[in-house]
Amino acid sequence: MGSTIRLRTLGSLQLQGAEGDELRSLLAQPRRVALLVYLALATPRGLHRRDKLLALFWPEQDEPRARNALSQAVHFLRRTLGAEAIVSRADEELGVNQEMVWCDAIAFEAALDAGKAAEALELYRGALLEGFHVSDAAPEFGRWLDDERARLSRRHAQAVEETATAREAAGDFAGAVLWLRRLAAHDPFSSRVTLRLMRALAASGDPAAAIQQARVHKTLLREELQAPPDPQVTALVGELQSRGGGEPVPPARALERAEVAPVPTPVSPGPAPESAHRTGNRRRMTRVGLAFVSVLVAVAGGLALSHGRGVGGTPSISCLAVLPLENLSRDSAQEYFADGVTDAIITELAKYEGLNVISRTSVVRYKRARRPLTEIARELNCDGVVEGTVISARGRVRVDAQLVHAPKDRHLWAESYESDMSDMLALERQIAEAIARQVHGIAVAGDSSPKRTARRVDPMVYALYVRGRDAFASRNPAGLRLALALFGQVIARDSQFALGYTGMADTYRMLVGLGYAPVGAYKDSARIMAARALGLDSTLSEAHASLAGILTGQGKWTEAEAEFRKAIELEPGNALAHHWYAILLVTLDRRDEAVREIRRARELDPLSQPLQGAKIMIETYAGVRGKAGRPGERKMLSDPTHPGTIATRAVGLAQVGRCPEAYTEIGRAQDLAPDNTRILVSLVGVHLLCGKPARARHLLDEIERRPDAQGSGIYIAMVYTFLGDTDAAFAWLERAHWGMESRMELRISERLKPLRADPRYRQLLDRMGLP
């Protein structure tokens, strides 16, 4: 098309240069991005007067300052995009050179005007500038953006409906269903759209799905608008039922809290006689047949544990572990869908303050594990276990779940749930609510319930997010870059899914913090992603924790603590928030509070190696822990592919004289993170401890000449401290780039202990604003 710059505004904002590189320096400046978008899209298209631009973007400044700000913004745009990208006339009008800057919103409308609906719909990835906000801009800009967003959304909806109509006219009712579902998502309260979708579903041979759609629509109207169902929708349901084409509509009482209905499953009223030796495998296999039972099976009330009470009363449960649900679908591609259901249930349960729920990063190792529940519970130090199965087919999903008191392998509760794939959020919440009631009798309504969001999420989007979090947990370069790619897919498929942005924010920050990426651009990207997540969902614990981590790295202690507290308030079971908050507290020298938070994090994620390492360091610094065992001793690793963990072990082995093993381990770390400066600093340590000072000095000289050496400045300072060169150590502390983890190391690392009596150490803390 001849364009050199690609500006995507439909859905999440993207800006790419001529080589396909993301122009992060511009994306980090929302007001200048907003100016570019306005110049490109405002009608009439073409040139726009400067005085109007001043009033829109710098309303708080007087005219001379506003003109200067506009001139600086234009200069920056031209420098970033190219001198000819922004055109002007007589110094009073400005515009975008359409031959240089391609914009998806303009291409979208051009395609519609040319009758190319398919091309236009491919371009529309979401509402205009979703989640985008410019602080201090005039209200007029906000109104313009809202109006333009609504106008483009209407054009998109019209194109979707016309495409569905064309599919119906061609007799392709299955194709029409796909487009009408998209239209129903755009306008979920429209009874007219619901009727069209129901008729298309019935015509495509799926009347049961049509009745299900009516049920969803009815519930939505009642819960959100307190409105009765449309008579035409009710009449169509009756017509479909009279033809015998679908299942009877479940009683209204079963749908009061959610859009799915539980099916109680008969369970034994007492302990199983073979409980001492039975494994999860046998219990799961007995449930395979249950996965195909209809959702409307009626079970006698006397057989169902509707309140989780067995004969002899329910044992007290102090801790809950949700094991990975087993995928019973024949399609192995559904594996991550099952993982997503597991993660969502854990997340929902973690919002209850009265529940102690083990993090998914600790339970994921038990996926497909054929081991006794008593053994698993002992390793997790947990007495309550939830296990179950998931099966999905033809747009429907069924979950069978049961709660077991692990010490005695005693069944306490079991139920089955079925729903449409589009109703997964309701299903996951209902399961979490039922489990919470069984464990502590927590009420569904009232102040103890977790915060709610009514937004639905595509289960496959959530599954991609879970895959991204798994890759993130590896903490090695390949895993983190895979995480970025997966989170990018999440956002591309659903640009309003806030968790995708938190994943991006945490990954960008981790890449910088571990020395795998340049500091400047990635730090900016992390901040932008966290801000977008909060803009989409201010009640999301993960988003507040992401922002808190960034603020901690920036040294904004008060703001960071407020965000950590908010994250934990929203989700008391967020292990990562407790972990990172402990790092902030120990950095601020609030030792007792730090110990409390790191221990709470460890309770929630007992098998996490990074957490265990942080707990040892913080407890040692706080004086509540004796010296750890021999530094080279191998402990169970949550992820043995993390280069930093392996490099630390290598130094520990060298410390106790096991040098051949140390060199083997440091070689493994280098394989996982090739040419990483921080791993090379660890190699310097191994050389020194193994009696090779010349090789250590030579490598240290090479490291100090590296352009990214400042990112590992604190670790280079540790080497000079070991060598007794205090001046060089402080010189590197002055040059170092600081982040959340490195500031904690400055406070508590034993390797820097000789520096703490030096006045320069106190001066460094003072400049950071630390006590």
What is the tens place of the pLDDT at every residue in 216-229?
888 778 877 778 88
Q: Where are the alpha helices (DSSP H) in 724-758?
A: 726-735, 740-748
Burial of 251: CB neighbours in 10 Å, binned 0-12, 13-18, 19+:
exposed
- Percent of the chain whose predicted confidence (pLDDT) is above 70: 83
Write down the pLDDT at residue 256. Answer: 29
pLDDT tens per residue across span 80-114: 888 889 998 887 899 999 889 999 999 999 999 99
One fold for 171-249 and 278-294+311-440: no
For 675-692, write each residue's pLDDT tens digit: 899 999 999 999 999 999
Predicted local confidence at residue 252, as pLDDT: 26
Q: Is the pLDDT of residue 649 over 70?
A: yes
Query: Which residue type sits at 690?
Result: C
Q: Which two tokens stand for residue 315?
A: 């044992």
Domain boundaries, the chain: 5-152, 171-249, 278-294+311-440, 464-539, 542-628, 643-768
| Contact in structure between 503 and 468 (CB atoms under 8 Å) | yes
Kindly report whether the peptide bond that precedes residue 44 is cis, defined as omega within 30 degrees of 0. Answer: yes
Q: Assess whether the previous peptide bond of 631 is cis (omega < 30° from 0).
A: no
Q: Which two tokens stand for residue 267?
A: 């369970």
More confident residue, 599 or 609: 599
CB 674 within 8 A of CB 476: no
Instruction: Flag the least confident range among 369-378, 591-600, 715-724.
Output: 369-378
For residue 354, give Cα distances in angstroms to 427, 448, 570, 574.
Answer: 21, 8, 13, 13
Stretch 485-499: mean pLDDT:
90
Average pLDDT (259-283) is 33
Q: Specify the length of the chain in residues.
A: 771
pLDDT-wise least confident of 55-59, 197-201, 686-690, 741-745:
55-59
Give the closest residue to 38 by CA, choosing from 23, 52, 26. 52
Backbone angles phi, psi at 400, to 5 degrees: -110, 125
Please tell me which residue, 138 or 20, carries the higher pLDDT value. Answer: 20
- Taking the CA atoms of 559, 561, 566 and 567 in sequence, report the sign of the dihedral they define: positive
Q: Please, which pLDDT band fits residue 271 given cuts at 50, 70 and 90?
A: very low
Q: Could you tell me where the DSSP H helices lie in 591-725?
A: 591-604, 609-622, 643-655, 659-672, 677-689, 693-704, 713-723
Using CA atoms, how far apart are residues 207 and 214, in angstroms rounded to an integer?
Answer: 11
pLDDT at 103: 93
CATH topology of domain 278-294+311-440: Rossmann fold (3.40.50)
User: In 3D, which of 706, 660, 654 has the Cα closest to residue 680?
Assistant: 706
What residues contact residue 484 under an 8 Å CB cut-off, 6+ apart?
A: 504, 507, 508, 511
Local confidence band at 626 (pLDDT 50, 70, 90 cut-offs)? low
Q: What is the pLDDT of residue 285?
A: 31
Model confidence at 640, in pLDDT bands (50, 70, 90)?
low
**What pLDDT score does 333 carry?**
58
> Which residue, chain included where needed, has tokens 């060169």?
725
* Distance in angstroms (rounded) separating the CA atoms of residues 152 and 73: 27
Phi, psi for 292 (deg, rounded to 5):
-105, 5
Rounded alpha-carbon distances, angstroms, from residue 453 to 83, 564, 648, 686: 45, 20, 42, 52
- Reported as a single tens digit per residue, the pLDDT across 695-753 is 999 999 999 999 889 989 999 999 999 999 999 999 999 999 888 889 999 999 889 99
Percent of the chain with pLDDT strictly greater than 90: 29
User: Residue 330: pLDDT band by 50, 70, 90 thresholds?
Assistant: low
Q: What pLDDT sits at residue 152? A: 92
Query: What CATH class is the domain 542-628?
Result: mainly alpha
Report d(CA 393, CA 395) in Å as an integer.
6
Residue 741: which of 524, 552, 517, 603 has the closest Cα?
A: 552
Is residue 362 helix, strand or coil? helix
Tokens 């400044």, located at residue: 61
Closest CA to 178 of 427, 392, 500, 422: 422
Quickly state the pLDDT bin for 253 (edges 50, 70, 90).
Answer: very low
Q: Between 243 and 238, where is the model more confident? A: 238
For the domain spanning 464-539, the CATH number is 1.25.40
In this model, does residue 301 exceed pLDDT 50? no
The topology (CATH level 3) of 643-768 is: 1.25.40
Residue 160 has pLDDT above 70, yes or no: yes
Q: How many CB atoms lie within 10 A of CB 689?
A: 20
What band does 242 get if pLDDT is binned at 50, 70 and 90? confident
Please classify residue 446 by burial: count the beta carbons closer than 10 Å to its beta carbon, then call 0-12 exposed, 13-18 middle and 19+ buried.
exposed
pLDDT-derived band at 124 (thresholds 50, 70, 90) equals confident
Question: Which CATH fold would you assign to the domain 171-249?
Answer: 1.25.40
Model pLDDT for residues 535-583, shown as the tens digit of each residue: 999 999 999 999 999 999 889 999 999 999 999 999 888 999 999 999 9
- Calculate the average pLDDT of the chain: 79
**pTM of the prediction?**
0.58
Q: Is the pLDDT of residue 631 over 80?
A: no
257 alpha carbon, distance to own chain's centre: 26
Highest-confidence segment of 341-345, 580-584, 605-609: 580-584
Through-space distance between the first and last CA atoms of the chain, rounded to whole angstroms: 58
**The pLDDT of residue 331 is above 70:** no
**Band of pLDDT at residue 332, cut at 50, 70 and 90:** low
pLDDT tens-digit series, residues 504-528: 999 999 988 888 887 666 777 888 9
Residue pointed to by tokens 């000289």: 701
What is residue 122's predicted lDDT score, i.e. its pLDDT? Answer: 82
